[in-house]
Structures are given as C-alpha cells and as structure tokens.
C-alpha cells in the first residue's frame, strides 16, 4: 500500500494546526506551508477538502487563516486519510464476486486492521509524542 504526497501534506497541515490549537490562533496558508515544508498552492486545495469534512475551519479578515474545527484529540489520522482518499485501504477485490471468498476475507481483515490503526492515532497523541521528544536529552 502506497499513500500519496497529498495524504502526507494533509497530515502535516493538520499537525501544524494542532500545534496552534490551544492558543486559538489561526494560521495563514503561507505560514502553515512554510512551517510544514508544503507547497502553498497545493495546500489551499487540501485545506478546502479538510474544511468540507469539518476537520479545519477558516477565519476571514486581517487575522484570518485556518485552524482546527475540533480539538486534536478528536481528529484521527484515519479522518484525514479518508478525507483525501475516501478509504484508508480499498481493494477492488472486496466487491469482486470472482475473487475467492478466503482472499476477499483477507482483504477485508486488512482493511479493518488499517482502519483501526489509523483511527487509533489522534493528533493529540502526535503532539504529545513531539513534546516527549523535545524533553529528551542526550549525554
């Protein structure tokens, strides 16, 4: 299974916004793009998709930009992946009657496992992992 750059960019954008969530500060597209190493033009398209799924929201005006629509603990990697791709994992064999049932069952188990794993990763957990890493020091 190979995910696209779009899924990586969307996850980076949400993580960048999650870092600002508790401060309540919206980020301009240019600032978010620069902070996450993303192309601004492509990021705008991704943010529009994330907004349509109520993962992010936009703020108009001089202090405008984007911010998370809900707390980082309520947004999963699965939410972001489904927003940009539809399914975390999909196989044509799941709907192919010619596919042997035991193989279709295996594909379904894989789909369920990946959904469960992606839904178990919240952006709050990712933030906490980042903070733990910053606290570490080496001798």
- The domain made up of 5-135 has a fold known as Arc Repressor Mutant, subunit A (1.10.10)
- Give the predicted TM-score (pTM) of the model: 0.87
Q: CA 86, CA 88: separation in Å to the nearest integer?
A: 7
Q: How confident is the model at residue 106 (pLDDT cuts 50, 70, 90)?
A: very high
Residue 130 pLDDT > 90, yes or no? no
> Where are the domains positioned within the chain?
5-135
Query: Taking residues 34-51, what's their average pLDDT?
Result: 94
Query: CA 61 from chain center: how many Å?
Result: 26
Q: Over the stretch 53-69, which tens digit does the pLDDT of each residue have? A: 999 999 998 878 999 99
């Amino acid at each position: 299974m190979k995910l696209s750059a779009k899924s990586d960019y969307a996850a980076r954008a949400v993580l960048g916004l999650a870092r600002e969530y508790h401060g309540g500060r919206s980020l301009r597209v240019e600032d978010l793009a620069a902070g996450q190493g993303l192309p601004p033009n492509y990021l705008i398209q991704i943010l529009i998709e994330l907004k349509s799924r109520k993962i992010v929201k936009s703020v108009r005006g001089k202090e405008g930009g984007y911010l998370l629509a809900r707390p980082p603990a309520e947004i999963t990697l699965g939410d972001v992946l489904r927003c940009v791709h539809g399914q975390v994992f999909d196989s044509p064999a799941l709907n192919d009657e010619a596919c042997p049932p035991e193989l279709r069952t295996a594909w379904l188990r894989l789909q369920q496992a990946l959904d469960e794993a992606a839904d178990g990763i919240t952006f709050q957990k990712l933030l906490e992992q980042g903070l733990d890493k910053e606290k570490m020091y080496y001798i």
